[in-house]
Amino acid sequence: MFRLIATDIDGTLAHDDRHLSPYTVRTLQAAIKAGIPIVLVTGANPWTVRRHLQRIGPQASAICLNGIFVLKGNAQHAGRFTPPEVVREAVRVIHKAGYVPLVYGEDNVSRYLPAPDPAMDKVRRLIAERPYQPYREVSGLRELLSVRPAQVSVCETLPRGKQLYTLLEHTVGDRAYVVFQPGTRTWIEVNHPEARKDTALLALAETLNVAPDEIVYFGDNLNDLPLFHTLKHCVAMGNAHPEITALAWRSAPTNNEDGVAQTILALSREGLLPPLDGNTQP
């Protein structure tokens, strides 16, 4: 029987509008009531993730920025930050190539160094969609790195994102974990080499005395690959990247069909999760 449910958010738990359905929230709350910990495991930053945790409840926890931060209740715990010298080199490469570097600092502020269009288009839309998160435009590298950096990332189109990922892999890939997350909003991230979903989730599970085989994980995109390679029981969403689907233990309906909630209830009926009480109807 599974003793921990872990799930990605965008493209997995959330619909394409980036919101959790009431059905999904009720199902997660029922699992928590049955004694099953819920862990959100995501490349998103703490500002975005807290909004989901507020709906699910204080018992749920989250791994943010692919393992750089862990949220438990009202507390935020810092993990492995990207080395400053790697961030500095990555920023120079990113900006010289005509992209906008976004540096997330330990003060939870995202600073960015503007670049000519079309690079700024995605960033403007991102900022407009996130009025709850502080963004700060800076004029130079010194100001960009004025606070200890946790991660540097770029929000781009898919074609431009692929080009930048290749460039960063070549320049800093031997000293960092470079993440490529394709989609309608493609992300390229430069993390600490050990700031990965698998490392962070296994460390958190150990504190709960949960073995790897007692975890069921839901995912859809390439930054989920470390967990799909590591865990035995990984579920690919119906909208998952083909590389994810090929490694899956089983499949779920799409994120827009509340595939995580449907599968949790199916696992409960199969005896792989405890019986779930409460209103878990769509």
- pLDDT tens track for 74-114: 899 998 999 999 999 999 999 999 999 999 999 999 999 99
> CA geometry: angle at 52 spanning 48 and 55, to 5°?
145
Query: What are the structural domains, with CATH classification, of the chain?
Result: 4-79+195-269 (3.40.50.1000), 84-191 (3.30.1240.10)
Q: Is 278 left (phi over 0), alpha (psi -120 to 50) or beta?
A: left
Q: What is the pLDDT of residues 218-238, one digit of tens each?
A: 999 999 999 999 999 999 999
Q: What is the pLDDT of residue 279?
A: 62
DSSP string, 220-267: -SGGGHHHHHH-S-EEE-TT--HHHHHH-SEE---GGGTHHHHHHHHH
Alpha-carbon distance 280 to 70, whole Å?
28
Question: What average pLDDT does the structure give for the chain?
Answer: 95
Q: What is the DSSP string of 209-226?
A: T--GGGEEEEE-SGGGHH
pLDDT digit string (tens) for 226-279? 999 999 999 999 999 999 999 999 999 999 999 999 999 999 999 999 999 866
Q: Which residues pair with 155 in a beta bridge?
A: 187
Compute the 3-state secondary structure of the chain and give helix, strand, coil in percent, each to the nearest 5. 40, 20, 40
- Own/partner pairs for 163-169, CB < 8 Å, 24+ apart? 163/97, 164/94, 164/97, 164/99, 164/188, 167/93, 167/97, 168/90, 168/93, 168/94
Beta strand segments in the chain, E: 4-7, 38-41, 61-64, 69-72, 75-78, 102-105, 110-112, 135-137, 149-156, 177-181, 186-191, 215-219, 234-236, 250-251
- Mean pLDDT on 64-79: 92
- Average pLDDT in the 159-184 region? 95
Q: What is the mean pLDDT of residues 10-31?
A: 96
Distance between CA atoms of residues 108 and 264, nearest Å: 33
Residue 155 pLDDT > 90: yes
Q: Is the pLDDT of residue 280 over 70?
A: no
Q: Average the pLDDT over 25-35 and give the result.
A: 97
- Cβ 33 vs Cβ 278: under 8 Å: yes
Per-residue confidence band for 154, with pLDDT thresholds at 50, 70 and 90 = very high
CA distances from 46 to 10, 42, 173, 197 (A): 14, 10, 25, 15
CB 200, CB 219: distance < 8 Å: no
Mean pLDDT score, 20-27 = 97
Nearest-angstrom CA–CA distance, 82 and 158: 24
Kindly indicate the confidence band of residue 73, based on its pLDDT and cuts at 50, 70 and 90. Answer: confident
Q: Considering only CA atoms, which of 47, 42, 53 is closest in space to residue 20?
A: 53
Q: Return the structure tokens found at 167.
A: 């460039």
